[in-house]
Amino acid sequence: MNERISPPAAAIQGSHCTPEQYEALYRQSVEQPDAFWAEQAKRLDWFKAPTEIANWSFDPVDIRWYEDGVLNLCHNCVDRHLPERGDQVALLWEGDEPGVTRSLTYRQLHAEVVRMANVLKTQGVKKGDRVTLYLPMILEAAVAMLACARIGAVHSVVFGGFSPEALRGRIEDCRSRIVVTADGGMRGGKVVPLKANVDAALDGGPEVDAVLVIRHCRNDVAMMEGRDRWYDEVAADASDDCPCEPMNAEDPLFILYTSGSTGKPKGVLHTTGGYAVWTALTFHYVFDYRPGEMFWCTADVGWVTGHSYVVYGPLANGATSLMFEGVPNYPDCSRFWDMVERHKVNIFYTAPTAIRALAREGEAPVKKHDRSSIRILGTVGEPINPQAWLWYWRVVGDERCPIVDTWWQTETGGIMITTLPGAHDMKPGSAGKPFFGIVPELLDAEGKARGGAAEGNLCMATSWPGQMRTVYGDHERFVQTYFSAYRGHYFSGDGCRRDDDGYYWITGRVDDVINVSGHRMGTAEVESALVSHKLVAESAVVGYPHDIKGQGIYCYVTLIAGEEPSDALETELRQHVRKEIGPIATPDLIHFTPALPKTRSGKIMRRILRKIAENEYGSLGDTSTLADPGLVDSLIEGRRNR
Ligand code: 6R9
């Protein structure tokens, strides 16, 4: 499909970027990057304005932006707005139960952030220290991030859906001495026992100085003497004065763990100045944000989308950002549209998996709510199939609202490829055009760039300010993962096609990473969770097409000698993976097999396993190098029986 849809005139009247402005700005951004990025830095307040702008190399790898500039991102997101919009709502929160809301004006946000910053200081947190945040989607999550930024501490937010095991690994990897959590979080009417998970993570594991517990669900929790403190009790004595720490542009801002194709999750490290400019700029243009508008990004702050477009991008622009603790189908599947109506949401940003799940419920739950406030719709997290795109366009947006399909990654800090509402036609299923300063290249297996309409591995030829700087504690892994496949290029891990009009179509991951409901998962992580079960000898995990989730998790499992597969064991393995990683990693299909297809040198032939999981038996390719070619037939047989 190569349908072209023009943005409706009414929605983009007075937009920040016309087609001509896009062409001119894009050209300047790639032809005179220093001038362009010096100008864009002026979106922020600097304690010392940068004179060094871009200083980077992909071979050897060394990336620095604005390196002599000094600023504080919390100042830029909070303090600097006080004179003009102190009484404007900065963050509006709605809880799991409809209509339960709280809000913070910029002035109130300032007071809360200062209080939290002082509490962290009293717990001994200093500039450069890592602080782990394991929180539900409540105002305090944003407050804690900003408080860390204020005092120069490096936050590591761990998604509340991750298991104690996963949390423990992340606390250990960045050696944080402080954990901020809540008694519990609410999702779909159920309490997620966050504090109990922290207790389990720390049990016999990493030693920390303090666990600060925010009172939220009022569920029973155990408090360990000398280690655990209720946040409200400590905060009661906190001073209401806390200046912003002057940060060098290249001082670390946060670590966020993300799955890769091998080994344990990587601590993606972002620094202060470049990330701030990138999120502020992309938020302004991509969402065409106008003062006074209500912006709602449904992502959890445990993911990069929540960092960049619930907290930092909107607040750097003085916007009003809506935070939602619950889930799209509680109490029923009209919840999103109910909230859109009640809060008069102008810009709505969500994931294709949510769109597909809601589309399945039909039009009625959408149509019964007034959505006339919406001006712009957005999607992120995975490729959106044209069918889901068209439903979003037609049913949710009434063919009135431009859709921005935004391609980016934890590693890129902010949006990289998208259409801009006022500047581009849309093509359902295509992310669109490169954002300012972005020079994508499609490389073939030999590393040759393909020009014009072409398909290849999506790489970046040049750096951009929001690029990650390193893998925390393992710079060599950073170099290996992103810069070794194609020397002198950043390799995204995605495959991509470019059409005759220069639009980019993401085709999905080309490595052993799968995308389940917009969440990135390393197949290796699921495999190691499976083999940690005492009855599992070996496993191979692949993705397969799933109507709602985009990709489902397909697990081939061989048992230790003498053990027989059973339904009970299948359930147990599912539970086991949930416990090891978290509910998002729950296997969709477990396929017991006496053996895995291997080459004679012992390598698992994943290509074949992927094809069988996808039900594509005609295109298995060369199976002659298999140690046991007969195995393929029995695997196909097993697949057909599911
Ligand atoms: C922001 C975020 C990154 C991976 C990325 C790609 C996929 C994200 C997409 C998309 C097609 C889009 N992805 N947005 N694919 N179209 N608009 O999701 O970060 O969690 O690190 O995932 O998600 O495969 O490589 P992250």
The mean pLDDT of 452-470, rounded to a whole number, is 97
Name the phi and psi angles at 287, rounded to 5.
-95, 0
State how far the alpha carbon of 96 is from the alpha carbons of 109, 137, 140, 142, 217, in Å: 21, 10, 15, 17, 11
Q: Are residues 523 and 490 in the same domain?
A: no
Integer Cα distance of 184 and 181 in angstroms = 8
* pLDDT higher than 80, residue 587: yes
Q: Are residues 294 and 353 in the same domain?
A: yes
Integer Cα distance of 572 and 580 in angstroms = 12
Residue 233, marked binder: no
Return the closest-CA partner of residue 258 out of 482, 483, 494, 519: 519
Q: Are residues 466 and 570 in the same domain?
A: no
Q: What is the pLDDT of residues 70-104, one digit of tens each?
A: 999 999 999 999 999 999 999 999 999 999 999 99
Which of 437, 464, 497 is the endpoint of a domain? 497
**From ligand 1's centre to the CA of 380, what distance in Å?**
6
- Work out which ligand 1 atom sits closest to the CA atom of 506: 11
Closest residue (by CA) to atom 15 of ligand 1?
Answer: 382
Classified as helix, coil or strand, 405 is strand
**From ligand 1's centre to the CA of 492, what distance in Å?**
10
Residue 488, marked binder: no
Closest residue (by CA) to atom 19 of ligand 1?
Answer: 409
The mean pLDDT of 613-621, rounded to a whole number, is 85
Closest residue (by CA) to atom 8 of ligand 1?
Answer: 381
* pLDDT higher than 80, residue 625: no
Determine, yes or no, domain membership for 425: yes
Closest residue (by CA) to atom 7 of ligand 1?
Answer: 382
Tell me: ipTM over 0.95.
yes
Among 303, 380, 497, 523, name the best residue to mutate to test ligand 1's pocket (greatest count of ligand atoms within 8 A of Cβ).
Answer: 380
Using the Cα atoms of residue 394, residue 396, residue 401 and residue 404 in order, give the sign of their dihedral: negative
Phi/psi region, residue 631 (left: phi>0; alpha: psi -120 to 50; beta: rest), is: alpha
Q: Are residues 462 and 414 in the same domain?
A: yes
Q: Are residues 438 and 522 in the same domain?
A: no
Q: Which long-range contacts (CB under 8 A, 24 or more apart) does 474-481 make?
A: 474/266, 474/267, 477/266, 478/61, 478/266, 479/60, 479/61, 481/260, 481/266
Q: Which stretch of 106-120, 352-366, 618-632 has the lowest confidence by average pLDDT?
A: 618-632
**From ligand 1's centre to the CA of 383, what distance in Å?**
8
pLDDT score at 243: 98
Q: Are residues 406 and 534 in the same domain?
A: no
- Work out which ligand 1 atom sits closest to the CA atom of 406: 17
pLDDT score at 1: 54
Angle between helices 631-640 and 606-613 (to 10 degrees): 30
Determine, yes or no, domain membership for 136: no
Among 157, 377, 515, name the best residue to mutate to test ligand 1's pocket (greatest count of ligand atoms within 8 A of Cβ).
Answer: 515
Closest residue (by CA) to atom 1 of ligand 1?
Answer: 409
Question: What's the CA angle centered on 272, arms 269 and 278, to 5 degrees?
Answer: 95
In the predicted model, what is the mean pLDDT of the chain? Answer: 96
**From ligand 1's centre to the CA of 496, what distance in Å?**
12
pLDDT level of residue 605 (50, 70, 90 thresholds): confident
Integer Cα distance of 124 and 172 in angstroms = 18
Integer Cα distance of 226 and 385 in angstroms = 52
Residue 546 β-bridge partners: 550
Determine, yes or no, domain membership for 190: no
**From ligand 1's centre to the CA of 48, what distance in Å?**
35
Closest residue (by CA) to atom 17 of ligand 1?
Answer: 407
Determine, yes or no, domain membership for 505: no
The encoded tokens of residue 633 equal 């037939």
Residue 467 maps to which CATH number? 3.40.50.12780
pLDDT, greater one: 413 or 511: 413
Residue 598, marked binder: no
pLDDT score at 125: 98
The encoded tokens of residue 226 equal 């000398």
Integer Cα distance of 127 and 131 in angstroms = 11
pLDDT score at 419: 98
pLDDT score at 43: 98
Integer Cα distance of 5 and 248 in angstroms = 44
Classified as helix, coil or strand, 328 is coil
Integer Cα distance of 310 and 347 in angstroms = 12
The mean pLDDT of 556-563, rounded to a whole number, is 94
Determine, yes or no, domain membership for 352: yes
Q: Are residues 474 and 579 in the same domain?
A: no
Determine, yes or no, domain membership for 209: no
Name the phi and psi angles at 342, rounded to 5.
-65, -35
Q: Are residues 374 and 423 in the same domain?
A: yes
Domain that holds residue 475: 9-108+247-497
**From ligand 1's centre to the CA of 557, what distance in Å?**
28
**From ligand 1's centre to the CA of 518, what distance in Å?**
7
Residue 408, marked binder: yes
Determine, yes or no, domain membership for 134: no
Report the share of the chain in percent with pLDDT over 70: 100
Closest residue (by CA) to atom 2 of ligand 1?
Answer: 409
Residue 561 maps to which CATH number? 3.30.300.30
pLDDT level of residue 49 (50, 70, 90 thresholds): very high
Determine, yes or no, domain membership for 95: yes
**From ligand 1's centre to the CA of 269, what distance in Å?**
18
**CA 112 to centroid of chain Cα atoms:** 25
Scan for tokens 């060094």, then name that residue.
52
pLDDT level of residue 122 (50, 70, 90 thresholds): very high
Question: Residue 293 in contact with residue 299, Cβ under 8 Å?
Answer: no
Q: Are residues 311 and 342 in the same domain?
A: yes
Question: Residue 30 in contact with residue 12, Cβ under 8 Å?
Answer: no
The mean pLDDT of 547-551, rounded to a whole number, is 94
Closest residue (by CA) to atom 12 of ligand 1?
Answer: 407
Residue 318, marked binder: no
**From ligand 1's centre to the CA of 204, what distance in Å?**
36
* pLDDT higher than 90, residue 2: no
Q: Are residues 492 and 528 in the same domain?
A: no
The total number of structural domains that make up the chain = 2
Q: Are residues 294 and 413 in the same domain?
A: yes
Q: Are residues 443 and 550 in the same domain?
A: no
Integer Cα distance of 252 and 49 in angstroms = 18
Among 300, 303, 377, 382, name the best residue to mutate to test ligand 1's pocket (greatest count of ligand atoms within 8 A of Cβ).
Answer: 382
Integer Cα distance of 491 and 504 in angstroms = 16
Among 457, 520, 549, 584, name the best residue to mutate to test ligand 1's pocket (greatest count of ligand atoms within 8 A of Cβ).
Answer: 520
| Pairing of β 89-94 and β 470-471 | unpaired
Residue 531, marked binder: yes
Integer Cα distance of 80 and 75 in angstroms = 6
Residue 383, marked binder: yes
Question: Residue 92 in contact with residue 320, Cβ under 8 Å?
Answer: yes
pLDDT level of residue 372 (50, 70, 90 thresholds): very high
Q: Give the chain's radius of gyration (CA, Å).
A: 24
Pocket of ligand 1 (CB under 6 A): 258, 303-305, 380-383, 405-410, 431, 492-494, 506, 509, 515, 520
**pTM of the predicted protein model:** 0.94
Residue 390 has, within 13 A of its CA and on its CB side, a CA count of 7
Closest residue (by CA) to atom 10 of ligand 1?
Answer: 382
**From ligand 1's centre to the CA of 83, what distance in Å?**
37
Residue 296, marked binder: no
| Edge-to-edge order in the sheet of strand 403-406 | 101-105, 89-94, 320-324, 294-297, 347-350, 376-380, 403-406
Residue 305, marked binder: yes
State how far the alpha carbon of 286 is from the alpha carbons of 7, 15, 39, 372, in Å: 13, 10, 18, 20
